[in-house]
Structures are given as C-alpha cells and as structure tokens.
Chain A
C-alpha cells in the first residue's frame, strides 16, 4: 500500500515532469527545424540563462542574503523558472556536438534539474509525512512523550532534505561554473552582429 502510494504520488510525477521537459525540448527543436528557424534556437540560450539566474532569488532568500518576497512564492518561482529556463537552454543546445565545454555545462544542467526535481519530491513527501503523522499520533491518543519520540523520526525527513542539499549544491555550483565558462567563451569569440 505504502509502495503504491510512493509510486503514484512521487515517482510517477517525477518521471512525467522530466519526460515532459525532454519531449517539449525535442518538439520545439523539431518545430524550429521545420520552419527553418534554427537560428532562433541559438538565441534561446540567453532568456534560458536569465530565467535560471532569476530563480536563484529563492536561494538568496533562503540564506537570508535578501529579505524580499515570501519563501513559498520564491520557491515556486525557483522550481518554475529552472524548469522553463532549462527547456529553453535544451532547445538552444539542440543535438549539435560541438564545443566540449558547452556540452559539459548542458550535462550538469540536466543533472541539476534532475537533482532539483528529486528535492521537490522530497519536500512534498516531507510535508505529507509531517501532516499525516501529527494527525495520526493525536488520533491514536498518544501522550506527549510518545508524540515526541515519533517526531524524532519526522526529523529524519528533514535530515534527508539537508542531505539532499549536500548533493544539489555542488551540482549547481559545477553547472554554474561550466555555464559561466561557456558564456565567457562566447563573449570572447563571438561577433555580435
């Protein structure tokens, strides 16, 4: 029963969300080719990057580096902008095996998206877990000590989020550095006319 719930509530939405990203990117690329607008894809990297950069507002807010905006709203913005920004970057990439640096940046961006989606599911799971457990403990008539003991296990969930961040941050960092390298190389060698 628990396994079925996990599959339906977490695994399937995760797979669908990622499949949608890949399918939309491929379909967009096909459309651009069909209408002889491949050159447009080349410039989609710019809005894609800007959206991803904008999504870091949540990271700044979470680390109290800025104080504007509600964390909940910024988290939604973070999830949405990184997904949409990644989509634009994927279309920008196409299937053109050229510079290695750009490919590394793309690979880490996809890893970052996957990692972010795992975090999204974990957070969702944690919220459900907390809510359900609290209600269940009360309905079972547990006393205060017993509820505290059970809450310990709840904290494990939060620990899981913390552990996830240990993985997510380095991936984001590497992606950031590689993307920066790619962007820098473009500025160095590209003729903007």
Chain B
C-alpha cells in the first residue's frame, strides 16, 4: 500500500473520529430521544455512565420518585387538587428500575415497548383498585357492573372480556334487555316476545334456541300470526282461516293438521267448494255445492246419496247419472229413460214393474203390487 493511500486512510479515520465526538447524537445515538429530553439530546452522559449505560440513579437524579406523577422535574405541580392525584404508582414500586420499563431513544423502541407497564408491578391493594387509574365505562353494560373489573377483564388487555351471567343478581339477570337492547332482533318473531330472553336463549350463546310455545303467555299463544305471519299459507284452504293456527295445527310441527269442520261458522260450513274442489265427473256435474248432503266432513267415502234431495226435475233425469248402467237389452232399449217408472231408487232389482212391452205393448199388472213414482210398496229409498 502506497504512502499516499495510507495517509488518505488515516486522514479519513481522523475525520470520522472527530465527527463522532462532535456530533455524537448523530454518529452514535440510536435515534432521537423523547421530547422531554430534547434539551439534553447531545449530552449523552446526562443519562449514560461510561461503560455502564443508562442507570436508574441518573434517572432519579432528575425524576424524584416521590414527585413522579405529582410534580414535574422542574417542580411545577401537575394537579392543583392533590386529592385528585391518581394512584401513586411509581412510589409503590418495590424496585426502582426505570429502564426496565422506559426506553428513550427511538431507535431501540423496536426492541422494547417504550412503556412496558405490567400490573404485576403493583402492590396487591392497588392492583385491586382498578378505578383508581381506569375510568369505568359509562355505557349500559357497565352501568350496573361493580368496580371489580377483573371479574370480566384481564389486566393484560380489555378485550376479549369473559362475562359471566352468574355474577349478576337474580333481578338483573331477568332484565336481559337492560344490557342487550341493541342486540335484540327487530324481526317479527321477537317483536311480541317478552324481554326475558332466557325463556328461549342460553346466556353463553344465542343459538341454538330452546323455544317452547308453552312458555308464552296465554294471550300471546293464541296470536300465532304475530310471529308466523310470513308462514301462513296463501292457499284457498287458509284464505278464510283465522289466525288461531292452533285450532288445526300443533306447535311442534305443521303437519299433520287436524281440521275440524264444526269449528267453522254455519254459513261457511255449507260453502264446501270454497275450500274443496268439486269432482268433475258425471255424477257430481248436476250436484249442488252442498257436499254435506251426501258426504260427511271426516272423509269423502262412503257417501250417502239420497235421491229425495234432488230437485223433482233432476230426479226424472236418471240417465244423467246412470247412463252407463242402463242394460243394453231389447226391453230397456225400448223403455223410456225414466228408470223410476219401473225401478226403485235404492235398488235395481227387483223392479217394481215388469209390464213394459219391449215391442211397445204395455201391461197394466204391476210386478209386485205396484205403486206410483217411487211410491210402491216394493221399497222406498231409505
């Protein structure tokens, strides 16, 4: 290495050495000090002791422990009303290790929290007195809460909190909405529900729900539509049904339903077709809509048809209903379509007359003593 290079090297090193001593805060300091120490930024040894580092004794020279939180380092009183001074935290610390919690230079902040506070540093009594340092929240939830924050919160962080309903007084426990008002669903289902959420819900979670209709007040229990409006079918059957679903349906499940016709008003009871579809066959074509004349409400079959119920005019039009049953023999082909001339309405055989001449001649002798229209002694309709 040439002499020139060596000299340049030494010169540069000398410059660096000078800069290090003159601008120590730039050359050596790991970042700016806190704002409060701005005035002593370049005076490293105001806090540091040579080869020892920043010592607690140096801190305490300025920050008198008995004055911390009460007076500034320049002696100015921080609280005019000394009665409002928060808990004297620093004064109660068992050991005065300032740098265990505080770091000054911004550069080393990434290695250590600036204020590494731990509740474990507090003495037992102070640690229990949370409100001495912390303000109790003014919200609804905390309104009735005690000052023992640790019942729900840890001293590490405020959330998550573990609230136990068992800690509440029985009277408060029943007043769910005093805390959960904002959480109460606004839907139809909950609109008429009581404020005793516990009737259906558990305290540890909202779902699953243990809803029982029996828990509802009698008055609410009959107002099915108050909760189940959206569920009421829009079909013909339910169109005229009342909101008292319980008349037909059970609370556990919708089907099977047990409909009782006798629950209907008299007027509606005769309007069968308003709910039931009338059969479109020949037999029912000319039948009235009073299904009850033949059918019972419990079941469709067997039906009890009574010819007397028919209007006189229709009674003579036997083939309207019995067209397919007329025998296709010579005698009946020649007979009129008034079956009742020879047959009873309740049975085909024996016929009450057999004097119809298939060729057109007519006997006057009745087959079994005779009789008029349906009036023979062979048997009336029953």
> What is the interface of chain A, defined by CB distance below 8 A to chain B?
38-39, 42, 96, 98-101, 104, 166, 169-170, 173-174, 177-178, 181, 185, 187-193
Task: Identify A98's interface contact among B5, B12, B13, B29, CB under 8 A.
Answer: B29
Query: Among the listed B13, B23, B29, which residue makes an inter-chain contact with A174, where contact means beta carbons less than 8 Å apart?
Result: B13
| A101–B20 CB distance below 8 A | yes
Chain B contributes a number of interface residues (CB within 8 A of A) equal to 29
Residue from A96, A170, A191, A193 in contact with B1 in the complex, judged by beta carbons closer than 8 Å: A170
Are A190 and B53 in contact, CB atoms less than 8 angstroms apart?
yes
Closest Cβ of chain A: how far from B156's Cβ, in Å? 15
List of A residues within 8 angstroms of B5 by Cβ: 166, 170
Indicate if the CB atoms of B20 and A96 lie closer than 8 Å: no
CA distance in complex: A187, B53 (Å): 8
Which of chain B's residues has its CB closest to A177's CB?
Answer: B13
Residues of B near A193 (CB, < 8 A) are: 53
> Which residues of A sit under 8 angstroms from B53, Cβ to Cβ?
189-193
B17 near A: Cβ within 8 Å? yes
Q: Which of A38, A169, A181 contacts B20 (CB 8 A)?
A: A181
Q: A98-B31, A100-B27, A174-B12 are in contact. Are A191 and B99 (CB under 8 A)?
A: yes
Chain B residues closer than 8 Å to A192, beta-carbon distance: 53
How many cross-chain pairs have Cβ atoms below 8 Å apart between A and B?
63
- Which residue from chain A places its CB closest to the CB of B17 in the assembled complex? A181
21 A-B pairs whose Cβ atoms sit less than 8 Å apart in the complex: A38-B110, A42-B111, A96-B110, A98-B29, A98-B31, A99-B29, A99-B30, A100-B23, A101-B20, A101-B27, A101-B28, A104-B16, A166-B5, A170-B5, A170-B9, A174-B13, A181-B20, A187-B51, A188-B51, A189-B54, A191-B54
Q: With A174-B9, A189-B53, A191-B99 as known contacts, state yes or no: A99 contacts B28, CB within 8 Å.
A: yes
Partner of A100, one of B26, B54, B111: B26
Task: Please state if A96 and B107 are interface contacts (CB–CB under 8 Å).
Answer: yes
Q: How far is the CA of A177 from the CA of B99 in the complex (A)?
A: 31
Assembly CA distance A174 to B27 (angstroms):
16
Q: CB-CB contacts of B286-303 with A at 8 A, as 1s and 0s?
A: 000000000000000000
Contact yes or no, B51 A99, CB < 8 A: no
Q: B50 near A: Cβ within 8 Å?
A: yes
Query: Chain A residue with minimal CB distance to B112?
Result: A39
Considering residues B17, B27, B51, which has the most beta carbons from chain A within 10 angstroms of its beta carbon? Answer: B27
A interface footprint on B1-31 (CB within 8 Å = 1, 0 otherwise)? 1000100010011001100100100111111
* Chain A facing B: main interface SS: helix
**A190 to B28 Cα, complex, angstroms:** 11
Is B28's CB under 8 angstroms from A189's CB?
Answer: yes
| B44 close to A (CB within 8 Å) | yes
Tell me, in angstroms, the Cα distance from A187 to B112 when the chains sit together.
Answer: 20
Chain B 242-277, CB-CB to A under 8 Å as 1, else 0, gives 000000000000000000000000000000000000
Measured CB to CB, the nearest residue on chain B to A101 is B27
A170-B9, A177-B13, A185-B28 known; A38 vs B51 contact (CB < 8 Å): no
Q: A174-B9, A178-B16, A185-B28 are in contact. List 15 more A-B contacts (CB 8 A).
A: A38-B110, A42-B111, A98-B31, A99-B29, A100-B26, A101-B20, A166-B5, A170-B1, A170-B5, A174-B12, A181-B17, A188-B48, A188-B51, A189-B48, A189-B53
Query: Considering only CB atoms, which chain B residue lies closest to A189 in the complex?
Result: B48
Q: Mark B28-40, 1 if CB is under 8 A from A, else 0.
A: 1111000000000
| Least Cβ–Cβ distance between B371 and chain A, in angstroms | 110
Q: Is the CB of A99 within 8 A of B27?
A: yes
Q: Which chain A residue lies CB-closest to B8?
A: A170
Distance of A99 Cα from B112 Cα, bound (Å): 18
The residues of A that contact B1 with a CB separation of less than 8 Å are: 166, 169-170
CB distance from B120 to the nearest CB of A (A): 19
Q: At the interface, yes or no: B52 with Cβ under 8 Å from chain A?
A: yes
What sequence of 0s and 1s flags, for each residue 103-142 of chain B, a beta carbon within 8 Å of any chain A beta carbon? 0010100111000000000000000000000000000000
Q: Are A188 and B50 in contact (CB under 8 A)?
A: yes
| A100 to B54 Cα, complex, angstroms | 21
CB closest residue in chain B, given A193:
B53
Q: Which residues of A contact B184 (CB under 8 A)?
A: none
Tell me whether B55 and A191 are in contact (CB under 8 A): yes
In the bound complex, how far is the Cα of B107 from the Cα of A96, in angstroms? 7
Q: Name the residue among A38, A98, A166, A190 with the largest chain B CB count within 10 angstroms.
A: A98
The reply to whether A98 and B107 form a contact with Cβ atoms under 8 Å apart is yes
Instruction: Report how far A100 CA is from B9 CA in the complex, Å.
Output: 19
Q: Hey, which chain A residues are within 8 Å of B27, CB to CB?
A: 99-101, 185
B44 touches A189 (CB 8 A): yes
Give Cα A185–Cα B105 distance, bound, in whole angstroms.
15
Does B111 contact A38, Cβ atoms closer than 8 Å?
yes
How far in angstroms is the closest Cβ of chain A from B45?
9
Q: With A174-B12, A185-B20, A188-B51 in contact, do A39 and B111 touch (Cβ < 8 Å)? A: yes
Top 8 A-B pairs, shortest CB-CB distance? A191-B53, A98-B107, A98-B30, A185-B28, A101-B27, A189-B48, A39-B111, A100-B27
Which residues of the partner chain B approach A98 to less than 8 Å between Cβ atoms? 29-31, 105, 107
Question: A77 → chain B, closest Cβ, in Å?
Answer: 24
Docked pose: A175 CA to B151 CA in angstroms: 59
